[in-house]
Amino acid sequence: MLVIRSEKIRHMLGTALPFAIMPALVLLLPVGVQAQYYALVSFLMVVLALLLFLSGFERRELGTRRMILVSVMTALSVIGRLLPLIKPITALTILSALYLGREAGFLVGALSAVLSNFIMGQGPWTPFQMLAWGLIGLFAGIFAKPLMKSRLLLYGYGLLSGAAYSMLLDIWTTVWTYKEFTLHEYAAALATALPYTILYAVSNLLFLMIFTKPIGDKLMRIKKKYGL
């Protein structure tokens, strides 16, 4: 893929490009691009951001054990959806990010979105869901230290990520339905989705409250026992 000699610059670009530059472009596009291409361009941007991150992943050293644990956590969060009344994807994504690192968090979030959509139905919204859940995991990994120290902060992050997830997906809803992005229409979409936003945020909070202690202890135990 890209050949940049300096390790530091490569690493910086690898994080900045998909997560800072591209989202910024998506948000700034209505200023520069004609309205009718906005949907197309934002869709391509999201797919490109995902591809960039995933292709960068190949070069990094994650270790066999950590890699397997990512696949285990992904499968667990998908299977959690099959149990009655449990929707743990966000909670498990955040917890894996806290204990296994930011890349693991991104992968668990993004892969859970694709895998669970095999059951719930794939569509043009799949890349947006992947990016939304992936980013929730990534940022949880970046802020792992303060989040692990303060339980209150963690709950706040859960609430916030529920709202952010809904808002990110509403960008897609707006763009796709109206073929353009104006604040007025975005506000309308947000208002329509408000019950769902609240539902997401509250259920995230609830599952973080239930899961943080037991699953955190389990992941910690595995980390200590096998020296990850």
Partner 1 sequence: MRTYDAMNPLAVAVQLLLTACITVFCMDPVLLGLSLCAAMALFFMRNGTGHKGFHALALGLPLLFMLLNPLWNQHGTSVLFFINHRAVTKEALWFGAVTGIRLAAVLYWFRTFSDLMTSDKLFYLLRFLSPKLALIFSMAVRNLTLFRQQMHKIQNSQKALGLYREKHLIDDVRGGIRVFSVLISWALENGIITASSMAARGYGIGKRSSCTNFRWKRQDIVLLLSALLLAGTVIVLIAKGYLERQFYPVIQPPVHGAFWYTAVIAYAALALLPLLHEGKEALIWYRLRSNI
Euclidean distance between CA atoms 140 and 96, whole angstroms: 9
In the complex, the smallest distance separating the C-beta of residue 33 from partner 1, rounded to whole angstroms, is: 12
Instruction: Please list every residue from 19 through 78 that binds partner 1, using CB under 8 A.
Output: 36-37, 39-40, 43, 51, 54-55, 57-58, 62, 64-65, 67-72, 74-76, 78
In the complex, the smallest distance separating the C-beta of residue 82 from partner 1, rounded to whole angstroms, is: 7
Q: Which of 101, 121, 97 is nearest to 109 (CA)?
A: 97
The 10 Å Cβ neighbour count of residue 68 is 11
CB proximity list for 155: less than 8 A, separation 6 or greater: 205, 208, 209
Quick note: the x/- pattern for partner 1 over 96-125, rule CB under 8 A, is -----------x---x--xx--x--xxxx-
Q: Which of 4, 217, 209, 191 is nearest to 88 (CA)?
A: 209
In the complex, the smallest distance separating the C-beta of residue 218 from partner 1, rounded to whole angstroms, is: 6
Binding-site size, partner 1 (CB under 8 A)? 51
Read off the DSSP letter of residue 36. G
Quick note: the x/- pattern for partner 1 over 155-194, rule CB under 8 A, is ---------------------xx-x--------x------
Structure tokens, 4: 């940049």
The 10 Å Cβ neighbour count of residue 3 is 5
Euclidean distance between CA atoms 98 and 162, whole angstroms: 17
Q: Between 57 and 149, whose beta carbon lies closer to partner 1? A: 57
Kindly list the residues in this chain that would bind partner 1 in the complex (CB under 8 A): 36-37, 39-40, 43, 51, 54-55, 57-58, 62, 64-65, 67-72, 74-76, 78-80, 82-86, 88, 107, 111, 114-115, 118, 121-124, 176-177, 179, 188, 210, 214-215, 218-219, 222, 226
